[in-house]
Amino acid sequence: MVCLGAIAGGSVLSSCAKVYYAQYSVENNSIKIAKSEFEERSAVVVKDDRLPAPIYLLKEDESYSAVLMLCTHKECEVAPFGQELHCPCHGSEFTNKGKVLTGPAEEDLKKFKVTTNDTFIFIA
Ligand code: FES
């Protein structure tokens, strides 16, 4: 894992958020993750070799959003940086829901449809 840091106001801010890779299964072409994978976490990462990059799955209250961690500029893999996703290649920054904050990327990250039931989250 690469840990990025920035100096702001004389203090060093580290973004070295631990990435948790969630256990999952595939069911009817959806990725299925137990809600219990979150425990106290607000986000998990799903790495499935059929996809060109991992999925960043965010939990806010009881709603979930999922984006592909593939920069829309030139397809480097973005990494969590605090509450954002940053691209190490040319510095694009995205919200943790995939919206562009800083270019050169101009398009938001690819979003997935997310549905849930009492126990599981499904990413399609
Ligand atoms: S590939 Fe991400 S900013 Fe260029």
Q: Give the C-alpha separation, 65 to 97, whole Å.
A: 7
Provide residues with CB under 6 Å of ligand 1.
71, 73-74, 76, 87, 89-92, 104-105
Residue range 5-47, pLDDT digits in tens: 443 333 334 445 578 999 999 988 899 999 999 988 999 999 9
Query: What pLDDT is recorded for position 62?
Result: 85
Number of domains making up the chain: 1
Which atom of ligand 1 is least distant from the CA of 92?
A: 3
Q: Is residue 11 part of a domain?
A: no
Q: Give the C-alpha separation, 63 to 54, whole Å.
A: 20
The CATH number assigned to the domain holding 94 equals 2.102.10.10
Residue range 56-82, pLDDT digits in tens: 999 998 899 999 999 999 999 999 998
- Residue 35 has φ and ψ, to the nearest 5°, of -60, -30
* Residues spanned by the domain of 103: 20-123
* Average pLDDT rounded to a whole number, residues 92-98: 97
Q: Is residue 32 part of a domain?
A: yes
Cα of 22 from ligand 1 centre, angstroms: 25
Q: State if pTM tops 0.75.
A: yes
Q: Is residue 47 part of a domain?
A: yes
Which atom of ligand 1 is least distant from the CA of 74?
A: 1
